[in-house]
Amino acid sequence: MTVLSSTDRDEAEKKVKSSYFDLPPMEVSVAFPQATPASKFPPCSKYFISRDYVCFKKLLLQSVCYYLITASDYYHFNELLTPEEQAVRKRVREFMEKEVAPIMTEYWEKAEFPFHIIPKFGALGVVGGSIKGYGCPGLSITANAIATAEISRVDASCGTFVLVHSSLGMLTIALCGSEEQKQKYLPSLAQMKTVTCWALTEPDNGSDASALQTTATKVEGGWVLTGQKRWIGNSTFADLLIILARNTTTNQVNGFIVKKDAPGLTVTKIPNKIGLRIVQNGDILLQNVFVPDEERLPGLNSFQDTSKVLAVSRVMVAWQPIGISMGVYDMCHRYLLERKQFGAPLAAFQINQQKLVKILGNVQAMFLMGWRLCKLYEAGKMTPGQASLGKAWITSKARETASLGRELLGGNGIVGDFLVAKAFCDLEPIYTYEGTYDINTLVTAREVTGIASFKPAASRSRSRL
- From the number of C-beta atoms within 10 Å of its C-beta (0-12, 13-18, 19+), residue 165 rates as buried
Query: Which residue lies nearer to ligand FAD by CB, 241 or 359?
Result: 241
Q: How far is CA 284 from the centre of its chain?
A: 21
Candidates 90-98, 138-146, 366-374, 438-446 — which segment interacts with ligand FAD by CB under 6 A? 438-446
Name the H helices within 28-98: 28-31, 51-61, 83-95
Residue nearest to ligand FAD (CB): 206
Q: Which residues within the stretch 191-220 sit at the binding site for ligand FAD (CB under 6 A)?
A: 198-201, 206-207
Candidates 19-27, 121-129, 215-223, 434-442 — which segment interacts with ligand FAD by CB under 6 A? 434-442
Query: What letter represents residue 335's amino acid?
Result: Y
**164 touches ligand FAD (CB under 6 A):** yes
User: Facing residues of 259 across strands?
Assistant: 240
Kindly state the number of chain residues that form the binding site for ligand FAD, as judged by CB under 6 A: 21
Those residues whose C-beta lies under 8 Å from the C-beta of residue 86, and which sit 6 or more positions away, are 78
Interface residue with ligand FAD, options 191, 436, 445, 447 (CB under 6 A): 436
Query: Which residue lies nearer to ligand FAD by CB, 121 or 231?
Result: 231
Query: Which residue lies nearer to ligand FAD by CB, 164 or 336?
Result: 164
CB 160 within 8 A of CB 233: yes
Q: Which residues within the stretch 250-279 sit at the binding site for ligand FAD (CB under 6 A)?
A: 276
**36 touches ligand FAD (CB under 6 A):** no
**233 touches ligand FAD (CB under 6 A):** yes
Interface residue with ligand FAD, options 144, 196, 214, 281 (CB under 6 A): 281
Q: How far is CA 339 from the centre of its chain?
A: 29
CB 394 within 8 A of CB 321: yes
CB 159 within 8 A of CB 316: no
**238 touches ligand FAD (CB under 6 A):** no
Q: What are phi and psi of 75, to 5 degrees?
A: -100, 20
Q: How far is CA 313 from the centre of its chain?
A: 11
CB 422 within 8 A of CB 323: no
Query: Which residue lies nearer to ligand FAD by CB, 303 or 349?
Result: 303
Query: Which residue lies nearer to ligand FAD by CB, 129 or 429?
Result: 429
Q: What are phi and psi of 224, to 5 degrees?
A: -115, 125
**396 touches ligand FAD (CB under 6 A):** no
**Separation of alpha carbons 147 and 261, rounded Å:** 32
**134 touches ligand FAD (CB under 6 A):** no
Shortest reach from residue 295's CB to ligand FAD, in Å = 19
3-state secondary structure 197-212: EEECCECCECCCHHHC
**285 touches ligand FAD (CB under 6 A):** no
Candidates 62-70, 96-104, 379-387, 432-440 — which segment interacts with ligand FAD by CB under 6 A? 432-440
Shortest reach from residue 44's CB to ligand FAD, in Å = 28
Query: Which residue lies nearer to ligand FAD by CB, 232 or 374?
Result: 232
Nearest to 296 by CA among 202, 217, 209: 217
Shortest reach from residue 457's CB to ligand FAD, in Å = 12
**Separation of alpha carbons 224 and 42, rounded Å:** 52
State the DSSP code for 345. E
**433 touches ligand FAD (CB under 6 A):** yes
CA distances from residue 397 to 38, 365, 370, 404, 406 in whole angstroms, order as listed: 22, 9, 12, 11, 14
Q: How far is CA 78 from the centre of its chain?
A: 22
Interface residue with ligand FAD, options 293, 294, 378, 438 (CB under 6 A): 438
Candidates 122-130, 186-194, 226-234, 317-325 — which segment interacts with ligand FAD by CB under 6 A? 226-234
Shortest reach from residue 444's CB to ligand FAD, in Å = 13
Does the CA dihedral 89-95-101-106 come out positive or negative? negative
**Separation of alpha carbons 320 and 398, rounded Å:** 10
Shortest reach from residue 304's CB to ligand FAD, in Å = 17
**231 touches ligand FAD (CB under 6 A):** yes
Query: Which residue lies nearer to ligand FAD by CB, 21 or 454?
Result: 454
Q: Which residues of the chain form contacts with ligand FAD (CB under 6 A)? A: 164, 198-201, 206-207, 231-233, 276, 281, 429, 432-433, 435-436, 438-439, 442, 454
